[in-house]
Amino acid sequence: MCFQSYFSSVIMFQYLFIIISLSGAYSWTDNKQRRFKDDFLFGTASAAYQVEGGWDADGKSESIWDRYVHSRPEITPDGDMACDSYQHISRDVQMLRELGVDFYRFSIAWTRVLPTGFSNKINKKGLQYYNDLIDELIKYNIMPMVTLYHFDLPQSLQDLGGWANPLSINWFEDYARIIYDNFANKVPYFITINQPNSVCIDGYSGSFAPGINSKGIGDYLCVKNVMLAHARAYRLYQNEYKVKYQGSVGIAISVNWVEPINNQTENVKAAEIARDFTIGLYVSPIWSKDGDFPPSVKEAVASRSKEQGFHRSRLPSLTPEEKTLLKGSADFLGMNHYTTVQAQPSVKKYPSPSLEDDMLVDFAQSANWTQGASPWLKSAPFGLYKACVYLNLNYDYPPIIITEHGWSTGLGLRDGSRVENLRGYMTALLFALEDGTNVRGYTAWSLMDNVEWGAGVSERFGLYEVDFDSPKRKRSPRVSAHVYRRIIEQRIIEDTWLPSSLKMDVSMRRMGKDKSEL
């Protein structure tokens, strides 16, 4: 993208803005210039399977995603080579320097470091790769933010039951210890687990690795074990590394917003229960007062289980010791936020048993919201504002880091829709900050195009485009990369660029002030 055309689009935006303001279609509260404080952190993210490639290089073993993809010829994601980041540390870090980010969130492939899945055998070459990446980041003052688990369980452990086996809690703790032993001296931020809902609800739906269909049973076993695995890895750091290294450990939870389709009582109730099933199930054990799953979820699953002839709830309960372990087990809430859905009581028939059949809510998305390249992704910036305020009001002002937010497009460097989405969500975030939410940082997903799980490289999330046909997986900055760099530099969203699609008016903001109005 040459700078001349970049600036001519700025002028076009200014022009558009004037027209919109004059026509009165714009419903902002005031002309105040809001800015991100100097200590607000900006970063970008990736995950091992999605970018590294080298799926069996230098002693790495098979993960559940390698197995899932290799055994399904009908899916075409090229995770075997992906962006070949395993061979391109300096180019990857160069992009981060161009963006001017404060931190880079990436994940470690368990199978690269511990090929057996257990801590009996450490693969030095695997550790070396992450060590080199971390050193290169530190050389340029970019903080590493390390995710321990981003969907890629060792297949050897899956063969022993994976996350449905309660021993997975020990396996994960042992793995976490190896990572802390090697990197806690250089890494200020650790994220234990990425999106437990994807690991468990998607992972046991049949259409996401490990591809096991055990809806309503395996998924709930997994939820309990994954949450406890997180808590044990958190406590391990607290007990043995915190004093020495002073790092922070959190978890990344998918917090998409759930809005009622309209204000009718039944829809408001449907939205509430849907939030408990999709957000509360993972946030409550750590941030609620009792360290437990939300009461509404426990009740719904227990009563449906009974109707179905089960002698106990399909959602396993947490013992008092487990609740104590979980409660308060995070220094920050990592929030992955992409979109908003609208809820109403279900009229559809869902497989039984399943989470959907327990929750009994149907979802839609407004036809007025811009559609991304992923079928589930629509742009509704007010949802980020509401999700932040909701976490504040329900969970007592947890420190939040937005650990992912992003937008998918097709091919091409002129990604106007991503720019609009980024600016809209950043503006919503500035409102959330002004209204007292404790958000400490923002992470753009993703640094570069990568393997979008089952969708392969058809959905592009990158600030940088990757040419998957070129041997070196050439990376080129999109317009959004320039825009993001400028936001980081200036710490403001220039008014002239406000997207017309973001209509968050005064009444919308007031709704965030009182829990009963959400």
Q: Cβ distance 286 to 331 under 8 Å?
A: no
d(CA 3, CA 399): 38
Decide: is 336 part of the binding site for ligand NOJ (CB under 6 A): yes
Q: Cβ distance 148 to 190 under 8 Å?
A: yes
Min separation Cβ 13 and ligand NOJ, Å:
27
Question: Which listed residue (194, 267, 278, 480) binds ligand NOJ by CB under 6 A?
Answer: 194
Write each residue from 196 to 235 as x if it is in contact with ligand NOJ (CB under 6 A), else as -, in one continuous string.
Answer: ----------------------------------------
Min separation Cβ 9 and ligand NOJ, Å:
26
Per-position DSSP letters for 8-46, written without gaps between them: HHHHHHHHHHHHHHHHT----S-----B--TT-EEEEE-
d(CA 197, CA 457): 22
Decide: is 152 part of the binding site for ligand NOJ (CB under 6 A): no
Sheet holding 257-260, edge to edge: 257-260, 340-345, 361-364
Q: Which is nearer to ligand NOJ, 351 or 375 (CB)?
A: 375
Q: Which is nearer to ligand NOJ, 297 or 335 (CB)?
A: 335
Decide: is 47 part of the binding site for ligand NOJ (CB under 6 A): yes
Assign 3-class secondary structure to 408-421: CECCCCCCHHHHHH
d(CA 7, CA 378): 27
Min separation Cβ 166 and ligand NOJ, Å:
25
Min separation Cβ 452 and ligand NOJ, Å:
5
Q: Which is nearer to ligand NOJ, 267 or 409 (CB)?
A: 409
Q: Which is nearer to ligand NOJ, 358 or 404 (CB)?
A: 404
Min separation Cβ 403 and ligand NOJ, Å:
8
Q: Which is nearer to ligand NOJ, 374 or 437 (CB)?
A: 374
Decide: is 407 part of the binding site for ligand NOJ (CB under 6 A): no
Decide: is 452 part of the binding site for ligand NOJ (CB under 6 A): yes
Partners of 134 in the β-ladder: none
Min separation Cβ 55 and ligand NOJ, Å:
17
**Cβ neighbours of residue 122 closer than 8 Å, sequence gap 6 or more:** 113, 114, 178
Q: Is 239 helix (H, G, I), strand (E, B) or coil?
A: helix
Please tell me the count of residues contacting ligand NOJ according to CB under 6 A: 9
Q: Which is nearer to ligand NOJ, 270 or 422 (CB)?
A: 422
| Structure-token pair, residue 11 | 């002028």
Q: Which is nearer to ligand NOJ, 271 or 335 (CB)?
A: 335
Min separation Cβ 301 and ligand NOJ, Å:
25
Min separation Cβ 463 and ligand NOJ, Å:
13
> Would you call the peptide bond into 353 cis, given omega within 30 degrees of 0 as the criterion?
yes
Q: Cβ distance 278 to 254 under 8 Å?
A: yes
Min separation Cβ 268 and ligand NOJ, Å:
28
Min separation Cβ 355 and ligand NOJ, Å:
18
Interaction residues for ligand NOJ, span 413-442 (CB under 6 A): none
**Residue count of the chain:** 518
Q: Which is nearer to ligand NOJ, 65 or 241 (CB)?
A: 65
- Cα torsion 428, 434, 436, 442: sign: positive
Q: Cβ distance 146 to 99 under 8 Å?
A: no
Question: Which listed residue (63, 85, 123, 195) binds ligand NOJ by CB under 6 A?
Answer: 195
> Would you call the peptide bond into 73 cis, given omega within 30 degrees of 0 as the criterion?
no
Q: Which is nearer to ligand NOJ, 192 or 194 (CB)?
A: 194
Decide: is 449 part of the binding site for ligand NOJ (CB under 6 A): no
Nearest to 363 by CA among 379, 347, 351: 347
Q: Which is nearer to ligand NOJ, 209 or 318 (CB)?
A: 209
Q: Cβ distance 405 to 381 under 8 Å?
A: no
Decide: is 99 part of the binding site for ligand NOJ (CB under 6 A): no
Min separation Cβ 33 and ligand NOJ, Å:
31
> Would you put residue 54 in left (φ > 0), alpha (ψ -120 to 50) or beta?
left
Q: Which is nearer to ligand NOJ, 129 or 445 (CB)?
A: 445
Give the number of C-alpha atoms closer than 13 A to the C-alpha of residue 92, restricted to the C-beta side. Answer: 33
Q: Which is nearer to ligand NOJ, 447 or 479 (CB)?
A: 447
Q: Cβ distance 126 to 86 under 8 Å?
A: no
Q: Which is nearer to ligand NOJ, 331 or 452 (CB)?
A: 452
Min separation Cβ 485 and ligand NOJ, Å:
22
Min separation Cβ 209 and ligand NOJ, Å:
12
Decide: is 404 part of the binding site for ligand NOJ (CB under 6 A): yes
Q: Is 361 helix (H, G, I), strand (E, B) or coil?
A: strand
Nearest to 135 by CA among 143, 147, 125: 143
Decide: is 445 part of the binding site for ligand NOJ (CB under 6 A): yes
Nearest to 499 by CA among 339, 411, 370: 370
Q: Using CB under 6 A as the criterion, which residues of the chain lie in contact with ligand NOJ when the complex forms?
A: 47, 50, 194-195, 336, 404, 445, 452, 461
